[in-house]
């Protein structure tokens, strides 16, 4: 039976000190712990522990370094959220535009166009919930004006209400006979439908981490991605800098794919500079925790 009682902030600090964590400023530490929970910060000091079972810290482990890691991660999430927003809007626009022109405005509820009908039913159920809750004037006016039309509003209205995760599933679930599937992939630098679904699933997953304020620093990502052997746009020149399969759990490969797509969507983006500035600002952060490659800034995709 679990018997531990909740600790006060003073007790939390005392326990950390007993375990070997040093504090430069106790007053500031108390303020941080009043606004950021002990266990949330614990995700950042875990690597500082020499004994993970007894939670004993390595020599010279400092609470302020924990806070720096936390702040780096928070700023990294904001940066990636900004990048993903541009990718999401582009994918949404292309999916709505190309498939609506090839099929019709209600293609997304046509079972015959999709490989997995059960997955589509689930996607449409979530979409129906989103639309029923929506306060968007476009949706409200459409439903009011077209009461007798029992279909969803057309793609350019309905799919503006759904999540990036749902969009990635819709795209991946489309049958390969839908020509727009290859068109969209080609326009986003993925050549054909083989590669883009894994890219979108990866980005959608990272977006969820960002949206829920979850740790990205030093996280092993469960998703994987398919890499082109010869991408049509600037990529990684040095072979040793191309991530290997076992490195796909690190953030670097996923950020590099984001940069690859962003270079097509917004060629004059400053993603590299902002990311590099973060490493300069927080010089205690080990780039290896994100899987960063040597001299990554000078690879063609990052220039």
Instruction: Report domain extents, the chain.
Output: 9-61, 70-302
Using 50, 70 and 90 to split pLDDT, how confident is the model at 252?
very high
pLDDT of 272-295, one tens digit each?
999 999 999 999 999 999 999 989
**Residue 57: its H or E element:** strand 56-57
Of 30, 184, 23, residue with least CA distance to 96 = 184
pTM of the model: 0.94
% the chain with pLDDT above 90? 93
Do residues 285 and 217 touch, judged by C-beta distance below 8 A? yes
**Nearby residues of 2 by Cβ (< 8 Å), 6 or more positions away:** none
Instruction: Write out pLDDT tens, residues 92-128.
Output: 999 999 999 999 999 999 999 999 999 999 999 999 9
């Amino acid at each position: 039976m679990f018997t531990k009682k909740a600790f006060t902030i003073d007790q939390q600090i005392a326990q950390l000190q007993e375990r070997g964590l040093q504090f430069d400023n106790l007053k500031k530490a108390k303020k941080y712990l009043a606004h950021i929970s002990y266990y949330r910060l614990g995700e950042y000091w875990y690597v500082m522990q020499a004994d993970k079972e007894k939670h004993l810290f390595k020599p010279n482990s400092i609470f302020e370094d924990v806070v720096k890691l936390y702040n780096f991660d928070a700023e990294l999430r904001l940066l990636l959220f900004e990048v993903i927003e541009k990718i999401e809007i582009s994918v949404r626009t292309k999916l709505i535009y190309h498939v609506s022109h090839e099929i019709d405005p209600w293609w997304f509820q046509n079972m015959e166009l999709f490989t997995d009908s059960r997955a589509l039913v689930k996607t449409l159920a979530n979409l129906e919930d989103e639309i029923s809750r929506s306060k968007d004037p476009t949706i409200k006016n459409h439903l009011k004006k077209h009461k007798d039309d029992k279909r969803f509003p057309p793609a350019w209205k309905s799919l503006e209400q759904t999540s990036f995760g749902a969009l990635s599933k819709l795209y991946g679930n489309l049958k390969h006979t839908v020509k727009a599937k290859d068109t969209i992939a080609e326009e986003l630098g993925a050549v054909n439908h083989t590669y883009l679904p894994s890219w979108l699933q990866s980005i959608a997953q990272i977006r969820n981490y960002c949206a829920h304020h979850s740790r990205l620093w030093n996280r092993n990502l469960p998703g994987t991605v398919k890499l082109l052997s010869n991408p049509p746009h600037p990529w990684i020149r040095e072979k040793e800098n191309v991530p290997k399969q076992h490195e796909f759990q690190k953030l670097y490969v996923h950020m590099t794919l984001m940069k690859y797509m962003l270079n097509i969507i917004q060629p004059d983006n400053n993603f590299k500079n902002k990311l590099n500035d973060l490493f300069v600002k927080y010089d205690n952060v080990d780039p290896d925790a994100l899987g960063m490659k040597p001299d990554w800034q000078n690879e063609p995709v990052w220039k």
